[in-house]
Amino acid sequence: MLIKYTTTSYKDTQKFGQELAKDILGFPLKKIATVLCLYGDLGVGKTTFLQGFAKGLGIKEKILSPTYVVMRRFGYFYHFDCYRLKDEKDILELGWEEIISNPKNIVAVEWPERIKKVLPKTAIKIEFKTLEENKRELTMKRL
């Protein structure tokens, strides 16, 4: 599975996230949580994408990057920002294994390269790339 999508505004990026969330809700449950790994530079649109994604899941709370708190939970949706983590040990202390062992959970991880040893092989990789000031290319595939 390889999908490339180009967005031309932050609203377009949010809309892509919203549509993906609706698709994921329609998938049959697997043995573990659905994990999205978001790769890309600072300011490329990862949190913007997750704002739309959360909306597609029916979440009403405001989605902000959890950079300083590492994790935010919205019911069955977990949003991790691993930018400040040193290694996998830090995320394990937050209950990572228990969270991803529940197939009802949906987990989004910004800066997943910091915890690559504990990412499930079934994770979906979404790479964000800036093409122009408001134009982004999102490439989605399995890890």
**What is the C-alpha separation between 89 and 97, in angstroms, rounded?**
11
The predicted pLDDT at position 53 comes to: 97
Longest C-alpha distance within the chain, in Å? 40
Categorize the per-residue pLDDT at 2 as very low, low, confident or very high, splitting at 50, 70 and 90.
Answer: confident
Classified as helix, coil or strand, 114 is helix
Q: Are strands 136-142 and 124-130 parallel, antiparallel or unpaired?
A: antiparallel
Question: Please, are residues 139 and 2 in contact by the beta-carbon 8 Å criterion?
Answer: yes
Lowest mean pLDDT among 1-5, 50-54, 73-77: 1-5
**What is the C-alpha separation between 112 and 119, in angstroms, rounded?**
8
Categorize the per-residue pLDDT at 67 as very low, low, confident or very high, splitting at 50, 70 and 90.
Answer: low
Report whether pLDDT(55) > 70: yes
The pair of three-digit structure tokens given for residue 143, joined into one six-digit string:
């890890």
Categorize the per-residue pLDDT at 143 as very low, low, confident or very high, splitting at 50, 70 and 90.
Answer: low
The predicted pLDDT at position 86 comes to: 85
Report whether pLDDT(68) > 80: no
Strand partners, 36: 108, 124
Please state the pTM of the whole predicted model.
Answer: 0.92
| CATH class assigned to 2-142 | alpha beta
